Structure formats: C-alpha cells, structure tokens
Amino acid sequence: MAGQVVALHFTGWKHAGENLSYHQTHSAPMMRELKGWLEKQLDGRKVEPNSGLGKATGHLRKHWESLTLFLRQAGPPLDSNICERALKMAILHRKNSLGYQTLEGARVGDLFLSLIQTCRLNGINAYRYLLALARNLAAVTLNPGAWLPWNYPESSTDATPATALAA
C-alpha cells in the first residue's frame, strides 16, 4: 500500500449492493493492510502517541468500526460533502448576519436563508420561487401550505400551485 494512490470511491453503481460487493472485494484488503500498519505504528512504539501522527492513528483506531461501515453495509457515503455543503450556507449567513441593524432584520435574513436552502434541497430555483410568492401574496396568505418549497411546481407556467387554486 505504501507509495500507492488508490481510488476507493466510484459513483457509477446501478444498485446499492454493487458498491458493497466492490468494496468488500477491492477496499477490504487495503483497509486490513492499513489497520495492520496502524497497529504496528502504535504497538511497536514507532510513533509517539502524543505527536500529531500518533493522535491521528489513535483516532483512526478508536473510530475504526464506523469508518469501515462501507465494508459491511451497502450505500453509506464515503465522505461528508453533502453535510458540509449544507452547513456552509449557515456559516456564511452567520458571518454576514453581523451586519444586521435590528433583531427583526436578522429574523428576516434567517427566514430567507431557510427558504433558499429548502429550495436548493428540493431542486427549485429559489429566485423564481420567491418571485412567485411575491406575485401571488393573496393566494399564499390563504393557503400557505400549498406554497411551501416542496409543494411548489417548478414547471408550472403561472407558478401557482394547483392546491392553492382549489382553496
């Protein structure tokens, strides 16, 4: 394994069982080798436990079961990019919110961040969604549940939810 660059992740799976089979065949031997190397480093006192490498190997050893879940269960992601992307917006908003003049301004900013993120997660164009809310304020007031981002029809020509028309 030393000196090798190994790609352990492939996204072209047709079904969840394929990735489990692939990882059990290809990734498991490398992970066993990595665990053996970790054990040698710490047990053989080749690495000082309080050094950066020692702490990292200790952390890896401590969390080995959860870090190798992809070898036992089909479908778990190998990275946390989805979570990191979701948190990034909240962190940027927190930084930008330092400029709010009032508590009400901060509340409105939080509301818009929540709506925009929800649109993003539901595959909806946030600009068009917010524009439709502004243009159809009376219908939104009458039936707000029909205008939530996950109920909003992106493909509609007049951007008016059918459930709002029925109300």
Asked, for residue 113, whether it belongs to a domain, the answer is yes
Q: What is the pLDDT of residues 81-126, one digit of tens each?
A: 877 887 888 888 888 888 888 889 888 988 898 889 888 888 899 9
| pLDDT of 7 over the 70 cut | no
Cα dihedral: 47, 49, 55, 59 (round 10): 100
Does residue 161 share a domain with residue 85?
yes
Q: What is the pLDDT of residues 127-143, one digit of tens each?
A: 999 999 999 999 999 99
Q: What is the mean pLDDT of the chain?
A: 80
Asked, for residue 100, whether it belongs to a domain, the answer is yes
Contact 125, 131 (CB under 8 A): no
Residues, the chain: 167
Three-state DSSP state, 166:
helix
Does residue 39 share a domain with residue 88?
no
Contact 101, 129 (CB under 8 A): no
Domain of 46?
16-71
Does residue 85 share a domain with residue 162?
yes
Other CB atoms within a 10 A radius of the CB of residue 30 amount to 14
Does residue 130 share a domain with residue 55?
no
pLDDT of the residue at 126: 92
Q: What is the pLDDT of residues 35-78, one digit of tens each?
A: 999 888 888 888 888 899 889 988 998 999 988 888 888 877 77
